[in-house]
Amino acid sequence: MFQVKIPATSANLGPGFDCLGMALQLYNRITVETNRPFRITLSGSYKEGIPTDDTNLVWKTMCHFWDLINYPIPNLDLTFENFIPPARGLGSSSAAIVGGLVAANAIAGSPFTKLELLQVANALEGHPDNVTPALYGGVTLSVSTENGVLPRILTQSPNFKAVVTIPNMHLNTKKARGILPDQVHRKDAVFNISHVSLLTEAFIRGDYSLLKEGMRDTLHQNQRAALIPGLLETLEAALETGAYGSALSGSGPTLLALIPDNLEKDVPLSMTKALERHGINATALVLDIDTSGAFTSLI
């Protein structure tokens, strides 16, 4: 029997659309018992709407991996312990894909390296900004090349905490991506290129005074504000309360703020109150950054 522990992730971090991401200390767990009749059991905070048959995303991912390497599908008893909220911009689908790949790889004797697993995960997810930190931990940059995704860890153990403010609403990623235009103005592209560069320097050097400006965006956050009442006001409230920087988490609706330790109470309160003014109830969590990514342990 073994277990795979997979972190939640926050993608984009403002201007880094589809390429920047961060792993968080909020986890889903997959427990695997081999040589048992096939069964999927759900536990944890999120069970509703998750299938327990062969349409389950974790199981489909595992079967996809075994098909890639011509490995016979084994009989397994699986327990999925879910604490990452689905459809909230915290990488729940990436956690399922990465967890399934790591578990399937372990069962098959680990024929794939982490880098090879990343290429499969990216192909399944369609973009690497969540799957890379889910596999590697820390704050990551994913570079798409003609040979696949090149992952870079900008910082493994940054000296800040993440406030994730989770509105009591769901936002489908497909809908949130569909609202974005197919083409962007050159000045907006230049703005985001320069701000991703500044953000990269902030993480590498540990100069968090650069985060406020570095996390600004023109490509997706203003456009998605139409889907999330109070988005821009809430991000500004976090900054006014002293957060280093703030951004929409992935495609939303969760909102992210990066803070020093001494603001663990003030920033979450300011963000939830800002959303309340727009009729949105929200839960704020203060999380450390996950430093290891998905990993397997015997139990």
**72 marked among binding-site residues:** no
Give 73-130 as a DSSP string.
Answer: PPPEEEEEEE-SPTTSSS-HHHHHHHHHHHHHHHHTT--S-HHHHHHHHHHHHS-STT
**92 marked among binding-site residues:** yes
Closest by alpha carbon to 89, among 13, 180, 141, 192? 13
Which residue shows structure tokens 């909102």? 255
**181 marked among binding-site residues:** no
Are the C-beta atoms of residues 257 and 165 closer than 8 Å to each other? Answer: yes
Sign of CA dihedral 153, 136, 131, 281: negative
**86 marked among binding-site residues:** yes
Strand partners, 289: 24
In whole angstroms, what is the distance from residue 121 CA to residue 232 CA? Answer: 32
**What's the helix, strand, coil split of the chain in %, to 5?**
35, 25, 35
Structure tokens at 178: 């569909």
**249 marked among binding-site residues:** no
**246 marked among binding-site residues:** no
Neighbours of 188 (CB within 10 A): 14
**87 marked among binding-site residues:** yes
**7 marked among binding-site residues:** no
Q: Which residues of 137-162 are buried (b: 16+ CB within 10 A; e: fewer)?
A: bbbbbbeeeeebbebebbbbebebbb
**85 marked among binding-site residues:** yes
Q: Which amino acid is at 92?
A: S
**91 marked among binding-site residues:** yes
**157 marked among binding-site residues:** no
Binding positions for ATP are: 85-95
Binding positions are: 85-95
